[in-house]
C-alpha cells in the first residue's frame, strides 16, 4: 500500500471529529495536488489548486528570509562595534538571527493557523489556504525584537476582525498581514517606531547598554561553537558610544540624502546591510521575488508598474518644490530606502484586496505610489507610508473596479 492510500485509510470522520478532520484535510491537500480536473468545454483543465498558488508566493520570499535572518545578527554586532565586515562572525550573526526570527515565525504560524483551524472546523469545511502567505509575510514586516505577546495580539486581531468577520479567505477587504502591523503600530507604537526597535538583543540602544543574551546564546550555541573551535557570544558585549540605530528614512527626514550617505553607502542600502524590518532591507532579493511572481503570473505587473509611476511622478513634484531636505530626495534614492519595493512586490499585489480589472490595477497602483510617498515625505511622525496607503486603497479597490466596469459598459452601449 502506497503512502497516499495509507493517508486515506486514516482519514478521521468529518462529523465525529470535525477539528481533527480539518487538520487532516489541511495537511493532506498541502502534500498532494488534486488528481481531478473540471470537465466540459468551458473550463480550464488544471490540477493546480490554491495551496500550490500560495506556495509560489512563499517561495518567492525565501531569499528575503535568508538575508533577513543574517542581517538581524549583523546589525546586532554593528551596534557593539564587533565583526563590522558583513561576513565576519558569520556563525554568530546567523545564530543570533535564528534565535530572534524563529520564535516570531513559529508564533505567526501557530496562532494564525490555530484560528483558521478553529473556524474551519466550526464551519465544517476545509482550512482556507490564504494564511500560508499571511503567516509568512508577517515576520518579514516586523522588527526583530517585537515581544511575542504583542505579535500574538496583532495576529488575533487581524485574522478575526479583518478576515473571519468578513467570511474568511477571499472575503476580506484589507490585507491581513498589514492589519497585523497596523495594530502594532497604533496599539503599541514604541515597539515599532523610532530608532530603538530595529536593533535586536539589547534592552535599549545607548552607549554601554549590555547585550541581552539568553540560554540559546550562552548555553546551546556557545557550547556548540566551543566544540567547533569558533568564537562564542560574549556576555560583556555592549553598545558602542554614539550608535543610534537610525534607519535611512529617519536620517533622510533629518537632513536629506546627504545625511543618509554620511552613515550608509548606496551599496549597503541596495544589498540590505541596514537597520529595518526583517524582510524589507535587501532590494536585490525583493526584486528577484517580484520577478518570480510576475513570471508565474501570481502577481500583477500592472500594479507594480502603477506604483512606480505614482512614486516617480509624485517625487518629481516634490523635488520641484524642494522646501525641505527630504523633498529633494530623488525617486531612485527613495527606492533604496524603506519598504517600497517589498510593499510593491508582496503587499499591494494581494489578489483578494487589490483591484481586479486591468485599468483598475493601474489606478490602484498609481494612487498607492502617490499617497505613500506623500505620507513618507510630509508626515514627520511616520516617515514611511506604504502600509497606510495600501490599506486605504484596499478600501477603495471595489469602487475603482466599479467605475472601470461602468465605463466599459457605457462604451459598449455607445458602439451598439
Report DSSP letters for 138-189, one per residue: HHHTS-TT--HHHHHHHHHHHHHHHTGGGTSTTT-SS-HHHHHHHHHHHHSG
Residue 222 and residue 144 share a domain: yes
pLDDT confidence band for 215 (50 / 70 / 90):
very high
Cβ atoms of 60 and 292 within 8 Å: the answer is: yes
Residue where a domain terminates, one of 208, 241, 274: 241
Residue 325 and residue 180 share a domain: no
Residue 193 and residue 92 share a domain: yes
Highest mean pLDDT among 94-108, 132-146, 379-393: 94-108
pLDDT at 6 over 70: no
For residues 174 and 397, give the distance between their C-alpha atoms in angstroms, rounded to a whole number: 10
- Residue 6 within any structural domain of the chain: no
Q: What mean pLDDT is reported for the chain?
A: 86
Residue 230 and residue 92 share a domain: yes
Give, in order, the Cα–Cα distances in Å from 72 to each of 16, 160, 247, 272, 289: 46, 30, 14, 11, 20
DSSP 291-310: HHHHHTTSS-HHHHHHHHHH
Residue where a domain terminates, one of 216, 241, 266: 241
- Residue 283 within any structural domain of the chain: no
Residue 229 and residue 363 share a domain: no
pLDDT of residue 178: 93
Q: Quickly list H helices, 188-240.
A: 215, 222-228
pLDDT of residue 12: 62
Residue 219 and residue 310 share a domain: no
Cβ atoms of 148 and 101 within 8 Å: the answer is: no
pLDDT of residue 35: 59
Percent share of the chain, pLDDT over 90: 59
Residue 211 bridge partners (DSSP)? 202
pLDDT confidence band for 277 (50 / 70 / 90):
very high
> Region 201-216: what's the mean pLDDT?
88
Residue where a domain terminates, one of 191, 222, 241: 241
- Residue 20 within any structural domain of the chain: no
Residue 385: name the closest of 395, 374, 396, 372 by CA.
Answer: 372
- The count of structural domains within the chain is 2
pLDDT of residue 120: 76
- How many CA atoms does the CB half-sphere of 178 hold within 13 Å? 25
Q: How does pLDDT run across 282-341, given as a tens digit for each residue?
A: 999 999 999 999 999 889 999 999 999 999 999 999 999 988 899 999 999 999 998 999
133 CB-contact burial (10 Å; exposed 0-12 / middle 13-18 / buried 19+): buried
pLDDT of residue 403: 94
Residue-number span of the structural domain to which 207 is assigned: 49-241
Torsion sign (Cα): 269, 98, 349, 382 = negative
pLDDT of residue 416: 73
For residues 186 and 198, give the distance between their C-alpha atoms in angstroms, rounded to a whole number: 17
Amino acid at each position: 500500500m502506497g503512502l497516499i492510500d495509507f493517508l486515506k485509510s486514516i482519514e478521521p470522520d468529518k462529523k465525529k471529529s470535525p477539528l481533527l478532520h480539518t487538520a487532516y484535510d489541511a495537511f493532506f491537500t498541502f502534500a498532494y495536488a488534486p488528481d481531478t480536473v473540471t470537465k466540459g468545454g468551458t473550463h480550464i483543465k488544471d490540477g493546480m489548486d490554491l495551496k500550490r498558488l500560495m506556495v509560489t508566493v512563499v517561495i518567492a520570499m525565501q531569499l528575503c528570509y535568508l538575508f533577513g535572518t543574517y542581517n538581524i545578527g549583523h546589525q546586532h554586532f554593528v551596534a557593539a562595534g564587533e565583526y563590522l565586515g558583513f561576513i565576519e562572525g558569520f556563525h554568530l550573526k546567523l545564530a543570533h538571527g535564528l534565535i530572534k526570527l524563529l520564535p516570531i515565525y513559529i508564533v505567526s504560524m501557530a496562532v494564525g493557523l490555530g484560528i483558521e483551524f478553529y473556524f474551519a472546523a466550526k464551519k465544517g469545511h476545509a482550512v482556507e489556504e490564504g494564511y500560508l502567505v499571511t503567516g509568512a509575510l508577517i515576520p518579514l514586516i516586523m522588527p526583530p525584537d517585537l515581544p511575542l505577546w504583542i505579535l500574538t495580539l496583532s495576529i488575533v486581531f487581524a485574522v478575526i476582525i479583518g478576515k473571519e468577520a468578513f467570511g474568511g479567505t477571499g472575503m476580506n477587504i484589507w490585507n491581513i498581514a498589514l492589519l497585523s502591523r497596523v495594530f502594532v503600530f497604533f496599539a503599541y507604537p514604541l515597539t515599532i517606531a523610532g530608532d530603538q526597535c530595529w536593533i535586536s538583543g539589547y534592552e535599549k540602544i545607548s552607549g554601554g547598554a549590555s547585550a541581552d543574551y539568553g540560554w540559546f546564546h550562552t548555553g546551546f550555541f556557545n557550547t556548540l561553537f566551543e566544540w567547533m573551535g569558533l568564537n562564542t557570544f560574549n556576555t560583556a558585549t555592549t553598545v558602542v558610544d554614539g550608535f543610534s540605530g537610525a534607519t535611512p528614512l529617519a536620517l533622510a527626514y533629518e537632513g536629506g540624502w546627504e545625511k543618509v550617505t554620511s552613515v550608509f553607502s548606496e551599496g549597503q542600502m541596495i544589498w540590505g546591510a541596514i537597520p529595518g524590518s526583517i524582510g524589507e532591507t535587501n532590494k536585490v532579493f525583493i526584486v528577484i521575488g517580484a520577478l518570480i511572481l510576475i513570471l508565474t503570473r501570481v502577481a500583477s505587473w500592472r500594479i507594480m508598474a502603477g506604483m512606480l509611476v505614482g512614486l516617480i511622478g509624485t517625487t518629481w513634484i516634490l523635488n520641484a518644490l524642494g522646501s525641505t531636505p527630504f523633498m529633494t530626495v530623488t525617486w531612485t534614492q527613495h527606492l533604496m530606502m524603506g519598504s517600497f519595493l517589498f510593499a510593491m512586490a508582496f503587499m499591494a499585489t494581494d489578489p483578494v484586496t487589490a483591484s481586479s480589472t486591468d485599468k483598475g490595477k493601474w489606478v490602484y497602483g498609481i494612487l498607492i505610489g502617490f499617497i505613500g510617498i506623500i505620507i513618507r515625505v510630509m508626515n514627520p511622525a511616520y516617515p514611511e507610508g506604504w502600509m497606510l496607503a495600501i490599506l486605504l486603497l484596499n478600501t477603495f479597490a471595489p469602487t475603482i473596479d466599479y467605475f472601470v466596469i461602468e465605463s466599459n459598459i457605457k462604451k459598449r452601449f455607445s458602439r451598439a
